[in-house]
Every structure is written in structure tokens, then in C-alpha cells.
Amino acid sequence: MPHLVVLYTGNLDKLTDMNTLCRSLADAMLSVKDEAGAQVFPTGGTRVLAYPAPYYAVADGGAAGKAAGGDGDYAFMYLNLRMARGRSAATQKRAGDAVLAAVRERIDPLMKERHIGVTINVDEGAEVFDAKHSTIHSLFKKP
């Protein structure tokens, strides 16, 4: 943890480089600091995963978009950031703002030409079961 999962309409694949967006999102997460100035998310635990939806229905199917002069091919992106419990509301907001800023850097130029919706949710893990198995964390432990 933390994990950022991005679900998006498949039509965004031809409009933006999702791998670059994922890297930008991970970098944004790693830049978040708490009130004491400490890095909020552990480097070895930060993950961003993006999944395109090849099948989707958004809003009215494009009628309003066409009436507004667009092509009616709406796009949508949903981002869910899960973080461990115990972070302050201010830290949670900083994390959400950092993710939003990274998304906007890539998506805002596209919004000038088409209709795109973006939703970001930040939640705390409320696990019933939590297991981790990794050889990545040891790369970032200080001796």
C-alpha cells in the first residue's frame, strides 16, 4: 500500500500515453509529505495500475456532446487511491490534490478537444485480511 488503480474508457488509449501517466502519478504520490515534512507513501510500496475498459457507456451516449459540437465520443477516468489508515485529513487531501494535478497535466489539453470526465477517490484501507509478499521493499531500506 499505497495503491492507485486507474480505470478508464478504452478510447483514451489512442489519446494519451497511459504508461507515462502512470509514472507521473507514481511520482506525484512519492512527492506527498505529511505535516512533519516526511514522505507519506513508501517508495517500495507505491503502485499505479491502469486498466482500459474496452466496453463502456458514458452519460447519454454522446447526444449532448454532438449537440455541443463535439464528436460525442465521451471518455472517462476513475482513479482510486488506497492508503493505510491513520493519515490526517490534510495529508489525505494533499495526496488527492497531487494525483489530481498529475492527471490534469495530461488530460486538460485533451479536454479542449473532447468531453472527458475524471473522478478521484481517496480511501483508507479497511482490510479484513491484509498480506504482503515482496522483494521490492528491501531495495529502499536504509542500512
HEC secondary structure over 53-114:
ECCCCCCCCCHHHHHCCCCCCCEEEEEEEEECCCCCHHHHHHHHHHHHHHHHHHHHHHHCCC
Centroid of chain to Cα 7 = 9
What range defines the domain where residue 74 resides?
Answer: 3-140
pLDDT at 31: 97
pLDDT at 139: 67
Percent of the chain exceeding pLDDT 90 equals 76
Cell numbers for 75, please give them: 471518455
Condensed to tens digits (0 to 9), the pLDDT of residues 47-105 reads 999 999 999 999 999 999 999 998 999 999 999 999 988 899 999 999 999 999 999 99
| Residue 32 in this model has a pLDDT that exceeds 90 | yes
User: Which CATH number belongs to the domain containing residue 32 in this structure?
Assistant: 3.30.429.10
138 CB contacts (<8 Å, ≥6 apart)? 44
* Alpha-carbon span 29 to 92, nearest angstrom: 11
pLDDT at 33: 97
| Residue 136 in this model has a pLDDT that exceeds 70 | no
Cell numbers for 31, please give them: 512527492
How many domains is the chain partitioned into structurally? 1
What is the reported pTM?
A: 0.88
User: Please, which pLDDT band fits residue 125 given cuts at 50, 70 and 90?
Assistant: confident
pLDDT at 2: 78
| Residue 134 in this model has a pLDDT that exceeds 80 | no
Query: Are the C-beta atoms of residues 105 and 63 closer than 8 Å to each other?
Result: no
| Nearest in space to 78 (alpha carbons), one of 114, 106, 50 | 50
| Residue 135 in this model has a pLDDT that exceeds 80 | no
- 3-state secondary structure at position 20: helix
